[in-house]
Amino acid sequence: MFFIASKVLGFFALPSNLIASLLVFGALLYVVGLKRGARGVIGTSIILLLLVGYWPVSNLALLPLTERFPAWQQAGGRDPDGIVILGGAIDPETSEARHTVELDAAGERVLAMLQLARQYPKARIVFSGGSANLTTAPVPEGPIAGKLLASFGIAPDRVTLENRSRTTYENAIFTRDLVAPKPGERWLLVTSAFHMPRSMGVFRAAGFEVEAYPVDWRTRGWIDAAVPIETLTRGLARADIASHEWTGLIAYWLSGKSRELFPRPTK
C-alpha cells in the first residue's frame, strides 16, 4: 500500500506534473467559458514553468540534498567488507528488450560499482534493485546488474543480488536480511548524492550501519545556486528530483521508516 500511495501522490508532487495539470485545468476553464479564470491559471503556469525551468530555483532545492554527505574518503581506514549499490541506474525494460545493459541518468552508480569491485577485490558486492514500475510488468534490475558484473570478471561468490525491493525502505530491509551484516564490519552505500540523505536514514533505522559513498552529483556545488539553468528540461528535471526527495524525507520520517527528518553525517 505504501508503494502504491507513494507512486500516486509522488506523481502530483513533481513540479513538472503540477505545472502540466495547471495548464490542463486552465484550458478546461477556457472551454467552459470561464475565460478570466483561465487566463489567470494559464498565466501562473507559464510563470512557474519559466521560474522552475530557467532560474536556479531547482538548484537551490537540490543542493542541500547533494551537499549533505561529502565524497567518501578512506582516510587510512581498513578496506570495506562489503559494498551495497542501490538500484535506479538501470533501465530494466529497455535492457530486457534490447538484450543489453541500458543505463539511465544515474548510471554513475553502476560505474562506481564496477570501480569499487576492482579496487577492493575481497569486498562483497550487493546490488539492491527490484522494479519500481507501477504500470507495466515488473522487470527487476538485480539480474541485469549480476550479468554485468560477471561480464567484468567479478567472481559470482562475491556477488549478492536483491531483486524484490521497490522503494528505498525495502532496499534497506531486504538487503539487511539478505546479507546479515556482522558487528564491526565496514559497509559502503552507493547511491546518487541527492538520494543519500533518505537512504542513510532508512539504513540507520533498519540497524544496518553503512558509510555514505555518494555519486551522481548533478551540480558543481553551491556555485550553481546563483547560475541560471541552460535548458528548460534540465531545470524541470532537477526540480522533480528535489521535490521527490524532500517529499520522501518527510514521508519516511512521519511513517517511522527513518528516525531523522534530514539525516546528516555522524562523523
In the structure, how many helices (H) and strands (E) does the chain have?
Answer: 10, 5
Lowest mean per-residue pLDDT among 71-80, 115-124, 230-239, 256-265:
71-80
Domain ranges of the chain: 2-65+225-254, 72-215
- Where would I find the H helices in the chain? 2-13, 15-31, 35-54, 57-66, 92-98, 108-119, 142-151, 168-179, 196-205, 232-254
Q: Assign 195 a pLDDT band (cuts: 50, 70, 90).
A: very high
- Return the exposure string of 92-128: e unless at least 16 CB atoms fall within 10 Å of the residue's CB, then b: beebeeeeebebeebbbbbebbbebbeebeebbbbbb
pLDDT tens across 1-37, in order?
555 656 566 677 899 999 999 999 999 999 999 999 9
Helix axes 15-31, 2-13, angle to 10 degrees: 70
pLDDT tens across 127-186, in order?
999 887 766 778 999 999 999 999 999 999 999 999 999 999 999 999 999 999 999 999
pTM of the model: 0.92
Q: Which CATH number fits domain 72-215: 3.40.50.720, 3.40.720.10, 3.30.530.20, 3.40.50.620?
A: 3.40.50.620
Q: How far apart are CA 137 and CA 144, in angstroms?
A: 16
pLDDT score for 137: 73
pLDDT tens across 111-142, in order?
999 999 999 999 999 999 988 776 677 899 99
Cβ–Cβ under 8 Å, residues 202 and 258? yes
Taking the CA atoms of residue 132, residue 137, residue 138 and residue 143 in that order, the dihedral angle to the nearest 10 degrees is -150
